Amino acid sequence: MIHSLFLINAAGDIFLEKHWKSVVSRSVCDYFFEAQERASEAENVPPVIPTPHHYLLSVYRHKIFFVAVIQSEVPPLFVIEFLHRVVDTFQDYFGVCSEVMIKDNVVVVYEVLEEMLDNGFPLATESNILKELIKPPTILRTVVNTITGSTNVGDQLPTGQLSVVPWRRTGVKYTNNEAYFDVIEEIDAIIDKSGSTITAEIQGVIDACVKLTGMPDLTLSFMNPRLLDDVSFHPCVRFKRWESERILSFIPPDGNFRLLSYHVSAQNLVAIPVYVKHNISFRDSSSLGRFEITVGPKQTMGKTVEGVIVTSQMPKGVLNMTLTPSQGTHVFDPVTKLLSWDVGKINPQKLPSLKGSMSLQAGSSKPDENPTINLQFKIQQLAISGLKVNRLDMYGEKYKPFKGIKYMTKAGKFQVRT
């Protein structure tokens, strides 16, 4: 399975290497650098690169390439999914996953990697188990450790490793017992030139933060579970119960976790909460182009649309833009040709707009493509699909927990073609 792992930064330096079998020379990464050179952008580096003796499988996250070296047949998704899990674990441990953070905590990183794989095969990937084996570094613990000489490494087998509920450790205690659930929905949409929807679908997740004492057994039911078209669960959710009763029944992991992700299919009508009016034109003769965008709310169920950011990749021919926004701030980067307009809140009475002109490269003909507009926005207190949690019950423990449910709708990959 996984032979070695190399971490490579944007500058092409290998700043960490780990081997689970015999050492593979880091010169193997030359093949990777070659491929990187061929692909103009980082995300175009093929995730699987064959070399004469090895195969390099890589993921690119947080401006770091995680390159796994394998020697024989293995399902590529197995490795890729594992690498993503490594990144998630680092993020979980250190808050952010960056080169600096990894370098600062290189020993913990090494210990964690050692536990995650044995002979290249995943051993412990549940962050709950890992955290019992190797405690995440905190300032307090570092201070205490230097004084008392105690360590970050647990000397007992984590209880989760053997239990039938591996995601939860035993003996969890809280003074305030709380369980929060965030229903977050993202709208993926492509809107065509005329404003009609080409494709729209809703991808939702329920992220939970559960801090409950003991071994609580929770059930979460929905008012309208039939909405959920395709779901994937955290392993803690009892699948059969969902199948038969459409109820989420689970013993939750401790802390933050993603309970469920779901999909509301394109077959159902998806309400599009915003519209964009645009008028972008290049004229053949002059070196000036007109640019005008207005953003407005539509089907928002009475909620305000906030956190609106409009970005657009302008054609190469655009040299500069002179724009005036009616609200918010805008930036045009003449190098990357990226226009970004931070709108903020949409006031339905006074629609935000951005107007002005573009100066084009003199002499060259007008660009034949119009830029696509990418939109980001947020709507609090609303799940656009209409999904509603009915109730949350707890069994197995005596105390009364504090329960909270929050809804939010966001733009996912929301594109407007012009």
Q: Which is nearer to another protein, 129 or 354 (CB)?
A: 129
Cβ-based neighbours of 164, under 8 Å, separated by 6 or more: none
DSSP 27: G
> Is there binding between residue 316 and another protein (CB under 8 A)?
yes
Q: How far is the CB of 240 from another protein (least distance, A)?
A: 4
**Tokens of residue 212, six digits:** 């409950």
DSSP 271: -
Q: How far is the CB of 63 from another protein (least distance, A)?
A: 14
Q: What part of residues 319-358 is at the interface with another protein (CB under 8 A)?
A: none
Q: Is 396 left (phi over 0), alpha (psi -120 to 50) or beta?
A: left
> Is there binding between residue 51 and another protein (CB under 8 A)?
no
> Which position among 31, 33, 78, 275 is part of the footprint of another protein (CB under 8 A)?
78
Q: Which is nearer to another protein, 123 or 331 (CB)?
A: 123
Q: Is the dihedral of CA 123, 92, 251, 130 positive or negative?
A: positive
> Is there binding between residue 252 and another protein (CB under 8 A)?
no
Among the listed ranges 30-38, 261-269, 273-281, 349-357, the one in contact with another protein (CB under 8 A) is 261-269
Q: How many angstroms separate the CA atoms of 95 and 83, rounded?
A: 17
Q: How many angstroms separate the CA atoms of 26 and 31, rounded?
A: 10
Cβ-based neighbours of 4, under 8 Å, separated by 6 or more: 17, 18, 19, 20, 21, 23, 24, 68, 69
Q: How far is the CB of 346 from another protein (least distance, A)?
A: 23
> Which position among 369, 380, 402, 404 is part of the footprint of another protein (CB under 8 A)?
369
Q: Which is nearer to another protein, 24 or 305 (CB)?
A: 24
E-state strands within 115-214: 117-118, 121-122, 178-191, 197-211
**Tokens of residue 110, six digits:** 């090494």
Q: How many angstroms separate the CA atoms of 316 and 88, rounded?
A: 36
> Which position among 138, 396, 402, 406 is part of the footprint of another protein (CB under 8 A)?
396
Q: What part of residues 184-223 is at the interface with another protein (CB under 8 A)?
A: 188, 190, 192, 198-199, 201, 203, 219
Following DSSP, what letter does each residue of 95-124 receive, concatenated? SS--HHHHHHTHHHHHHHHHHHEETTEE--
Q: What part of residues 98-137 is at the interface with another protein (CB under 8 A)?
A: 106-107, 109-111, 114, 118-119, 121-123, 125
> Is there binding between residue 284 and another protein (CB under 8 A)?
no
Q: Which is nearer to another protein, 243 or 302 (CB)?
A: 243
Q: Which is nearer to another protein, 6 or 407 (CB)?
A: 6
> Is there binding between residue 12 and another protein (CB under 8 A)?
no
> Which position among 32, 82, 181, 341 is part of the footprint of another protein (CB under 8 A)?
82
> Which position among 101, 165, 309, 389 is part of the footprint of another protein (CB under 8 A)?
165
**Tokens of residue 372, six digits:** 């696509």
Q: How far is the CB of 298 from another protein (least distance, A)?
A: 21
* Burial bucket for residue 238 (CB in 10 Å: 0-12, 13-18, 19+): middle
> Is there binding between residue 175 and another protein (CB under 8 A)?
no
Among the listed ranges 70-78, 269-277, 352-360, 376-384, the one in contact with another protein (CB under 8 A) is 70-78
Q: How many angstroms separate the CA atoms of 283 and 286, rounded?
A: 6
Q: How many angstroms separate the CA atoms of 386 and 156, rounded?
A: 47
- Strand duo 402-416 + 178-191: pairing: parallel
Among the listed ranges 174-182, 246-254, 349-357, 399-407, the one in contact with another protein (CB under 8 A) is 246-254
Following DSSP, what letter does each residue of 233-261 receive, concatenated? E-TTB-HHHHHHH-EEEE-PPSEEEEEEE
Please tell me the count of residues contacting another protein according to CB under 8 A: 108
> Is there binding between residue 46 and another protein (CB under 8 A)?
yes
> Which position among 9, 18, 256, 330 is part of the footprint of another protein (CB under 8 A)?
18
> Which position among 35, 209, 231, 271 is part of the footprint of another protein (CB under 8 A)?
231
What is Dmax (Cα atoms) for the chain?
Answer: 78
> Which position among 146, 194, 285, 324 is part of the footprint of another protein (CB under 8 A)?
146
